[in-house]
Structure 1
Amino acid sequence: IVVRADAGDTITVRHNDAGGGAGRKILLNDNADLALVGNDEDNVTLMYDESLDGANGAWFEISRGEGGGGAVDASAVTYTPAVLADWDGDADPGNVDDALDELAERTTDVEERGVYEARSSNTPVFGESGPFYDNTPFTGSVNGNPTSTSIVYNVTAGELSIMPGQVIHNTTKGERVLIEAVNYGTNTLTVEANSPDDSDTWDNTDVLTTASQTNLGRAGCFVDIDVTPHITGAVTGVVLALNWVRRNADDHFVICHPYEAYDVDKEIVVARLQTDNTYYETWIQPCAVANGRYYFTLCTLVLAADNGAGLARLQGQFTKLVS
């Protein structure tokens, strides 16, 4: 295919051009020169036939026209659907470029719909055996000099609401770490180092709380749950299984909420329990990312001290969720 570099050029393909050196000659059938002229002749396509020119072989013209010899933009190629209803809005995309864009968008939608990985965690994501978690999140202060993995605390209120999986906030410094275990007898938290902050830099008397600093709904009884140690890769949600035991007459609610500013329409009421009930539930909990950690928020309402613990074990995770 011989193509003009500019619409104003005239290219002549000559038969056995004497001015050309070896390797630059082209033998045209019947010794005919071919010229590309005019605005509608951008290229000429030649085919070689070894039987031409007395069986010596020669090139001959098969077509000439606009554009075809150079790069072709997909937007310039007309596309006619075989089934119009297969396309968005039952509308003809019109050209190959728009059709490919539509197909790429559909591919993304398919890839993002509920990519689920079944998993099982032997370690509770939050909660442990024993009574805990009243209506008031823990408030207190640092006692002494913490390390990266241990914090001794003083209690102001709500000590029984401390549980593994929660985030402990240092409101003096605006930092937080993940609680791995709590010893009520020694007032000691075992925490994950650098999760995402370093409690080794915290100071004596710094103010502590488990109350969420992001979701302030329900009179401030939400706490942040960090599921990062229990997941693999990037996720948008986890599947959790809850086991909760009730032993008093008060109604009791377990409520989850995304890790964001409170919105009553985004509450997930996981459990509503009454006297002597053992409650099991499995649900999908969306997670949000902050500082490389994966969080959601949780609160309980009207829980008395003689209630059993709730265990939330990871059953699976979603790498993507599409509404």
Structure 2
Amino acid sequence: MSYTKSHFEQQYLDLMRQVWLEGDERVDRTGIGTRSVFGATLRFDLCDGAMPLITTKRVYWKTATRELLWFLTGNTNIRPLVLQGVKIWNEWPHARYVEQSGEAISLEEFAARIADDEAFADEWGDLGPVYGKQWVDWPTYQPVKGGLFRKGCGINQVAEVIESLRSNPGSRRHIIEGWNVAEVPQMALPPCHKTYQYHVSTCPDGKPYLNGILYQRSCDVALGLPFNLWSGALLLRMIAQQVDMQPGEFVWMGGDTHLYLNHEKLVSEQLSREPQGIPSLEITQRPATIFDYKIEDFVVKDYNPHDPIKAPVAV
């Protein structure tokens, strides 16, 4: 079945085509090279269970969901993900281990050791103060004598946003920020999806609708963006449920929006495909807090995507 440009996914494919054909060719941190545009926007209506789940290749939405739930725990060690079969963060600690230990261990062997040896995971599996740490335990410091500072209680930004949406929905300060300048050097990878902001609107039926923007400073359109769209929309859906609002519009904004030069086969194959079907999400229960969701609480319906397309991850 063929869809016109009204299909939600067409804007993603149009962005991919624009980046590949019109993007500025650049030397990047990884040494692979990219084609890049600066400043991109995608908009998705989340009413009636709709989700921006890409169909022109299979997106492993459960993997993305498990990652989001891991962020919400504040954990920064890959072991909980590895034990669930989630591999998306393994390359960074593996590269650090090989560099610092000199042991030529494969990525698969490294992940197996992380899973089997908790002490090894404690030493080599931590990513530094990445996403979840900033989301739910942003560090604070209090002055003490002698011009020194001691660590104070961390700030749970997610909990504070939920409380502010309930108590002051008209606020312009419903923000979750991941870019902690002081701690960026300690992170295995500085946050790409860095700033989330929420906005409450009142629709003609009088009900409050929750809208959200995700700003992403750096975006791999081929491999990262399908995950980011799902996770950003899912977080909005979860917050909306917790504050008794209907999900409204999810807006994604990209800074350096790029495709890697070694992803040509993926780009060519994906752009040759037509979107198919309109997937939707049901959240089967409402837990006591946003930190209590389980993977079993999410059911995707009508998702019949094209086959996966493999491509290398740039580290």
TM-score, structure 2 as length reference: 0.26
Relative to its length, the structure with more helix (as a share) is 2
The one of the two structures with greater contact order (alpha-carbon pairs below 8 A, sep at least 6) is 2
TM-score, structure 1 as length reference: 0.25
Larger Rg: 1
